[in-house]
Structure 1
Amino acid sequence: MPLVDMPLEQLKKYEGRNPRPADFDAYWERALDELEAVEANLELIPSAFQTPQAECFDLYFTGVRGARIHAKYIRPKKVDTPQPAILQFHGYTGDSGDWQDKLAYASLGFSVLALDCRGQGGSSEDTGGVKGNTHNGHIIRGLDDHPDNLLFRHIYLDTVRLARIAFGLPGVDPQRVYATGGSQGGALTIACAALEPRVTKLAPTFPFLCDYKRVWEMDLDKDAYLELNTFFRKFDPLHEREDEIFEKLGYIDLQFLAPRIQGEVLFFTGLMDTICPPSTQFAAYNKIISPKQLVVYPDFGHEWLPGSADRVMQFFLEE
């Protein structure tokens, strides 16, 4: 079989290349303290899109640095007992998607909350300099500033706030709050469950934002990771700050958050992935210490993985 990365047996033992900052744990405790100090100011607005079986809302809350964050929220009607909730996270530069693709879960009695990442393709704002859209460049936002100003720090904290809102919503069983997504969505699934370990099940697919130095060493700092290449070319062409840059990126490297996960994990990867190389994904997967299961697609890359959505649904339906 052709390889774009290490053989599978090596991948299962790979521990990552990117440096871990010495104060990593203190960094995230400080970040969570900042989130806790911000009033959520939750707002639910009935959507123009409604169905006979489920209520649809535009949900807004305030995240760190004052950004108003949007999520689509669907809850089933006529449910008498507490039911599960699913947190959905989208790919890089995307948005929360249409209402209709969440109705399958709502028809099964699940509430669904689908986040719009701040400043990307949806309705959440980015308050970094100007309100509104920044679309991409989010990995490198804050690299020339204090690590507390990294934009993905704020996005990870938005996932935590969304989870905490879900725990308190009417009709939601706080023991059954789950998370899922692919690519950036897979990354945010891991970040959410790591920083809010009450998330009891998570299903990430080929997660982004892992092991940045490995991406660069593989010469795959292109496509989703192109901004790493751009940053060095524009702001450090001689790589004099290389160690500093990769260590700072370590604060938002999911391989170092992965050990915090307490929920059960169903993890999907394709071995031909040249967008988020398999080794970078395994750097995170191999550090998960909670119950976990790996689903490998040998011939697939960063693309739709046949049967994966059905398998995720079955995973969430299991008691």
Structure 2
Amino acid sequence: MPLVDMPLAQLQQYQGRTPRPEDFDAFWDRSLAEMRSVDPEPELLPAPFKVDFAECFDLFFTGVRGARIHAKLVRPKKFPKRAPAVVRFHGYSSNSGDWIGHLPLAAAGFVIAALDCRGQGGLSEDVGGVKGNTLHAHIVRGLYEGPEKLLFRDIFLDVVQLAGIVMAMPEVDAERVAAEGGSQGGGLSLACAALEPRICRAAATYPLLCDYQRAWEMDVAKDAYQRSDFWKKELRTFFRRFDPTHEHIAKWFRRLGYIDVQHLAARIQGEVLMVTGLMDSISPPSSQFAAYNKITRKKNILIYPDHGHEILPRRLDHVFEFLCSI
């Protein structure tokens, strides 16, 4: 088997390269306090999509900085008691997906809330307000100004706020709420479980948003952080424009550490299923293992040795079974 990263034995011991800021926990405690000070003012609007066994709604709520955030909400019409729920997160630049993609879980009795990340392909509002390049690179959005301005700081808070809104719904069993997603959505699922400790399960498929410095230092940096058909997170462009001699590169990676999921992973209280392809050149396996190795709760990693950042056979079945066993 060819390798794009470390051998598996080394991956299982790898602890990451991106530095963890000294005030990391205090930063996220302050950020969560800011989020909790916001009245989300949730609004449910019936959607035109109709099926016999479920109800579909557009859910809008107010996030940090006053942005109005959108999610699709699907709930079964009939269930014998309070229902389990799943909050779902999409891949980079995409959106909450078609209604039909959420129906299998609704048929299994789940309430589903699927977020549109602000500034990407859905209906959520991006309030902007930063200097520098915002054409593509969401990962460096706000990096020049400081960690409080990082776009993904706000997106992480959006996923937590959505989870809290769902948990407060009278039809939902707050003790049986899971997070799920792939690629960017995989990283957001782990962040959600870390920052909302009531999340009982997280299913993360080849999660991005982990160990930025490792990906940068590997040859795949030209793919994972520059190619427009994946992350559009042009770290290289940022360095070319704002630090062309790399004089301050340690500062930039330390600042990115605030939104590095590997540093949040130890906060996770629920059970985790991670799905990883060892041929992944978009989200390097080492970056994924940097987060996985820091999870201290019950966990399992499903490894596809010959697959990369692509459709993984039976992956949806494994995730569905994992979620349905709540």
Q: TM-score, structure 1 length as denominator? A: 0.97
Distance 1:201 1:129 in 2: 34
Partner of 2:65: 65
Deviation at 1:135, TM superposition (A): 7.6
Structure 1, unmatched stretches of 5+, are none
Q: Select 2:274's aligned residue among 260, 263, 267.
A: 267
Partner of 1:251: 258
**Correspondences of 1:92-131 after superposition (within 5 Å):** 92-129=92-129
Deviation at 1:220, TM superposition (A): 2.1
The C-alpha deviation readout for 1:19-67, integer Å capped at 9, x for no partner, is: 1100000000010011011110100000011111101000000000010
Q: What is the alpha-carbon root mean square deviation over aligned residues?
A: 1.2
Give the 4+ runs in structure 1 shifted more than 3 A: none
Partner of 2:10: 10
Distance 1:16 1:76 in 2: 42
Q: Verify the 8 A CA contact 1:94 1:121 in the aligned structure 2.
A: yes
Partner of 1:198: 198
% same residue = 60
Partner of 1:285: 292
Partner of 2:157: 157
Deviation at 1:129, TM superposition (A): 3.3
Deviation at 1:169, TM superposition (A): 1.4
Q: Select 1:318's aligned residue among 313, 319, 325.
A: 325
Q: Verify the 8 A CA contact 2:224 2:281 in the aligned structure 1.
A: no
Distance 2:264 2:24 in 1: 9
Q: Give the 3-state SS of the residue equivalent to 1:61 in structure 2.
A: strand
Letter in 2 for 1:235: F
Q: Verify the 8 A CA contact 1:121 1:135 in the aligned structure 2.
A: no
Q: Give the 3-state SS of the residue equivalent to 2:322 in structure 1.
A: helix
Q: Verify the 8 A CA contact 1:182 1:206 in the aligned structure 2.
A: yes
Distance 2:309 2:185 in 1: 13
Structure 2, unmatched stretches of 5+, are 227-233
Tell me, yes or no, if structure 1 residue 49 matches structure 2 residue 49. Answer: yes
Structure 1 residues 165 and 215: alpha-carbon distance in aligned structure 2, compared to 1, 3 A threshold:
same
Deviation at 1:136, TM superposition (A): 3.8
Distance 2:40 2:136 in 1: 25
Q: TM-score, structure 2 length as denominator? A: 0.95
Partner of 2:229: none
Distance 1:41 1:318 in 2: 32
Moved more, 176-185 or 214-223: 214-223
The size of the alignment, in residue pairs, is 316
**Correspondences of 1:207-218 after superposition (within 5 Å):** 207-218=207-218
Partner of 1:228: 235
The C-alpha deviation readout for 1:134-185, integer Å capped at 9, x for no partner, is: 7841100111112111100000000000000110113211110001100000
Tell me, yes or no, if structure 1 residue 309 matches structure 2 residue 319. Answer: no
Deviation at 1:223, TM superposition (A): 3.5
The C-alpha deviation readout for 1:169-214, integer Å capped at 9, x for no partner, is: 1321111000110000000000000000100011001000111111
Tell me, yes or no, if structure 1 residue 39 matches structure 2 residue 39. Answer: yes
